[in-house]
Structure 1
Amino acid sequence: MTDPQIYTALLRLHHPWYISRIDVDVPKEEAHVFITHHHGKLPCPTCRAMCNVRDHGDGERVWRHLDLWQAKTFLHAAMPRTDCAEHGVLTVAVPWAEPLSRFSMDFEARVILALLATKTVAGAQAIMQISWDETRGIMERAVARGLMRRTEVDLVHVAADEKSYRKGRHFVTLLMDLDRGCIHGTAAGNSKASLVSILKSLTSRQIRGVEAIAMDMHEPYRAAVDVVFPVPRPAVVHDRFHIVSHMNEALNDVRIEEARELAAQGRNDLVGTRQMILFGEENLPKKYKKRFAKLKKSELRTATVRAQKEVLRHLWDCSGVREARRYFKEWAEWCRGTGIKRVAKVVDMIEQRLDDVISYCKHPISTGPLEGMNSIIMAVRRAGRGYRHAETFGMAIMFFCGGLNLQP
């Protein structure tokens, strides 16, 4: 266990570095490997020019390495500083660790694998026996490394959405590359400035290449598009599922109001129908069939609004913008003709943004893939026990969902 050749091979050390000694603390189950360098010039970490060694800075540093057998392994070395004529006095780069890290690259690589396997910081901590702060530091370096390595990719279809990271109104904004299925960037908050900051991080070529951006009807995000993108701007596609959810909310409000009116008359027609009326007929559970058929034949306002919601769902089946515009006009006239104010509000909301709704006919995208990542993102949030800072939560999302090359 104290043979330097074993550690030299495992650490992949080469000239001028060599192992001077190995100390084993059996009671503590620790191995301490001391590394030094041969006398002579060393390369400047910036320009790689061979330079004289000025000194060994602030003395010995210690790095945690992968366990060997059952022993925790620590690497020790005094860090030489070179005196470069061009770049001045700089600490040399060592082959086993990255600058500012107190873990070997092999150890960090294993932590990254543990994080990706367990999907939780706590899981990686338990496996690797390190602290929360140490794990977070490894994640931060991995994300920074991945972002530096990321090549400029064409962004054609993207989606913007917000995610909460703790109780209260604490959000991060996410931009997803829909064609690659990964998160491209994050920013604190859910304001116009939040999305603007992500979009402005794109290159001019990427900005010009975006054809469509999916989002819900959050007005600050819509305004961010006008700020960043030059004319002709990419198409904004308001997410169909968010729009239908507004209609579902209207349906539920009408149901509640009408159920109270019926209860005052001693009727229970709508009792227990909350979940039933949200189903489309194509996926209605068998247990609701008879009651659903009875509701459809009734003259209740709830039955009318449910039918209006179902007709709205087919707006996105239109073959083109012109057909969709005509379809919506007929639907809107029907809804307004029934005189149900709660539905009229939804009609007005869609009408004000109609161009950004029916743009789906040309660009059939949605925030659905981003919502599909919600299980991973929520697992990240739960594992963090409610992140206190948006930047930390955003970093964790980029680690697990950014499609980055994270390894040292």
Structure 2
Amino acid sequence: MGNAELPAVLVDGKKTVETLLSTKNQTKTARLLRLSFDQVHGVMQRAVERGLNRRDDRHIHEHVCMDEKSIRRGHEYVSMLYDGDTGNVIEVEGGRTRKSVENLCSKALTEEQRAGVKTVCTDMWDAFIDGAKKYFPNASHCHDMYHCVTYLNDAVDKVRKREVRHFPELRHTKYLWLKDQSKYTTNDQARFNKLEDAEYEVSQAWKVKELFRDLLHLKYHGDMEAYGMLLRRMDDALQYNIEEINGVVFIFKRHLKGIVRAMVTGANNGKAERTNGSIQEIKTIGRGYGTAERYRIAILFFYGGLDIS
């Protein structure tokens, strides 16, 4: 049967999918194609269902990551399971409670697939830790250094916010302390040098964060070497006696095993984080999502690596 004989709804569906992939925006797609938002979302939903049905449930994802993403400002979240090797989102579940994580893991992969996972990366959220242990019993559970640096970035910014009350010159410097120095402009570098020389606590907190960042690029020959390097970094950090930094170091001490496992295996959520950034982009373009289920459909449509043809 030629294209001319296809029912109009199928032709429209194909065009809607192509337009969505181009605009990354349901509202804009609806306006361009003179459809309602619900019609566009319906096409996305059917495409995702089609893609999920086509997945090979015998495929083993050797490295997986679990993370969260806010639906909109506030405290509404979805939990996500990624393929750590590709960055594709395997499944999304509303909430980030233990029950949410259990639903996520059991829905995303079969028991045989979960048994085949070799490494699982999570942050230090208890629900993710418990889920990793329960549903991936044969995997090394890792807290990768990217997550560790994220905790330190948050601590650095808290120090800045505390000090800015007394030092107005620290206003509008947030991204100087968080930005990769290799991406500094000439003006950024000049401003940073001036602030660093003044020896604010935020500059000391920044130095601690950079010491831990260095651990990202090292190779380790075993657990003992990694333990030794990590413990030295934590001892150095505590010497500064900065409250916010001390709090992060104590968190690291409670999760030493997972951090060391990440350092030795090299497991990380780098590709998942890049996907996370892209998800943030569609959330910004779409100005948020009303429900966890609508958000799930959008995430899987754009970043699930699904065959939706």
TM range, smaller chain: 0.7 to 0.9
CA contact (8 A) 1:280 1:310 kept: no
Q: Superposition pairs for residues 255-266 of structure 1, below 5 Å?
A: 255-258=160-163, 260=165
Instruction: Give 2:141's aligned amino acid.
Output: V
CA contact (8 A) 2:226 2:264 kept: no
Instruction: Give 1:325's aligned amino acid.
Output: Y
- Identify which of 399, 404, 408 aligns with 2:301: 399
1:379 Cα deviation (Å)? 4.4
Query: After the TM superposition, which segments of 4 or more aligned residues of structure 1 sit over 6 Å from their partners?
Result: none
* Higher RCO (C-alpha 8 Å, min separation 6): 2
- Identify which of 195, 208, 215 aligns with 1:315: 215
1:121 Cα deviation (Å)? 1.6
Structure whose alpha-carbon radius of gyration is higher: 1
For residues 238-284 of structure 1, give each alpha carbon's deviation from its aligned partner in whole angstroms, at most 9, with x where no partner exists.
242332232233333334545555x5xxxx77566544333455444
Q: Superposition pairs for residues 341-360 of structure 1, below 5 Å?
A: 341-360=243-262
For residues 294 and 316 of structure 1, the distance between their equivalents in structure 2, rounded to whole angstroms, comes to 27
* Structure-1 residue corresponding to 2:96: 190
CA contact (8 A) 1:324 1:358 kept: yes
1:210 Cα deviation (Å)? 0.7
User: Secondary structure, in 3 states, of the residue corresponding to 1:406?
Assistant: coil
- Identify which of 218, 235, 238 aligns with 2:140: 235
For residues 398 and 126 of structure 1, the distance between their equivalents in structure 2, rounded to whole angstroms, comes to 22
> Gapped runs of 5+ residues in structure 1?
1-6, 13-64, 67-102
CA contact (8 A) 2:87 2:275 kept: no
* Structure-2 residue corresponding to 1:30: none
CA contact (8 A) 1:164 1:172 kept: yes
For residues 168-194 of structure 1, give each alpha carbon's deviation from its aligned partner in whole angstroms, at most 9, with x where no partner exists.
222111111122331111111112222
2:4 pairs with 1:10: yes
> Gapped runs of 5+ residues in structure 2?
none
For residues 154 and 119 of structure 2, the distance between their equivalents in structure 1, rounded to whole angstroms, comes to 27
Give the total of aligned pairs: 305
* Structure-2 residue corresponding to 1:177: 83
Hey, which of these two has a bigger chunk of strand by percent?
1
1:345 Cα deviation (Å)? 1.1
User: Secondary structure, in 3 states, of the residue corresponding to 2:266?
Assistant: coil
Q: TM-score, normalised on structure 1?
A: 0.66
CA contact (8 A) 2:86 2:271 kept: no
For residues 274 and 384 of structure 1, the distance between their equivalents in structure 2, rounded to whole angstroms, comes to 27
Call closer, same or farther: CA 1:361–1:132 in 2, change over 3 Å.
same
Q: Superposition pairs for residues 5-404 of structure 1, below 5 Å?
A: 10-11=4-5, 65-66=7-8, 103=9, 105-152=10-57, 153-201=59-107, 202-230=109-137, 233-258=138-163, 260=165, 273-279=173-179, 281-289=181-189, 292-293=192-193, 296=196, 300-320=200-220, 321-382=223-284, 384-404=286-306
Instruction: Give 2:21's aligned amino acid.
Output: L
User: Secondary structure, in 3 states, of the residue corresponding to 1:108?
Assistant: helix
For residues 116 and 291 of structure 1, the distance between their equivalents in structure 2, rounded to whole angstroms, comes to 41
Call closer, same or farther: CA 1:117–1:323 in 2, change over 3 Å.
same
User: Secondary structure, in 3 states, of the residue corresponding to 1:386?
Assistant: coil
1:347 Cα deviation (Å)? 0.9
Call closer, same or farther: CA 1:145–1:318 in 2, change over 3 Å.
same
For residues 307 and 300 of structure 2, the distance between their equivalents in structure 1, rounded to whole angstroms, comes to 11
What RMSD in Å do the two structures reach over aligned CA positions?
2.8
For residues 145-165 of structure 1, give each alpha carbon's deviation from its aligned partner in whole angstroms, at most 9, with x where no partner exists.
111111122111111111222
Identity %: 28
Hey, which of these two has a bigger chunk of helix by percent?
2
CA contact (8 A) 1:381 1:387 kept: yes
For residues 285-329 of structure 1, give each alpha carbon's deviation from its aligned partner in whole angstroms, at most 9, with x where no partner exists.
333545644555555544433322221212233322322211122
User: Secondary structure, in 3 states, of the residue corresponding to 1:155?
Assistant: coil
User: Secondary structure, in 3 states, of the residue corresponding to 2:265?
Assistant: coil
Instruction: Give 2:204's aligned amino acid.
Output: T
